Amino acid sequence: QMQLVESGGGLVQAGGSLRLSCAASGRTFRAYAMGWFRQAPGKEREFVAAISWTGEITNYADSVKGRFTISRDNAKNTVTVLLQMNSLKPEDTAVYYCAAGGTAYSRTYADTTPNGYDVWGQGTQVTVSS
Condensed to tens digits (0 to 9), the pLDDT of residues 57-89 reads 999 999 999 999 999 998 767 899 999 999 999
Element containing residue 18 per DSSP (H, E): strand 18-25
Q: What is the average per-residue pLDDT within 96-112?
A: 91
d(CA 47, CA 119) in angstroms, rounded, equals 15
- 30-52 pLDDT per residue, tens: 889 999 999 999 999 999 999 99
Residues 6+ apart with CB under 8 A from 107: 52, 53, 54, 56, 57
CA distances from 52 to 66, 71, 80, 94, 119 (A): 19, 10, 13, 24, 15
Structure confidence at residue 39 (pLDDT)? 98
From residue 109, give the alpha-carbon distance in Å to each of 22, 81, 89: 19, 16, 29
pLDDT at 75: 78
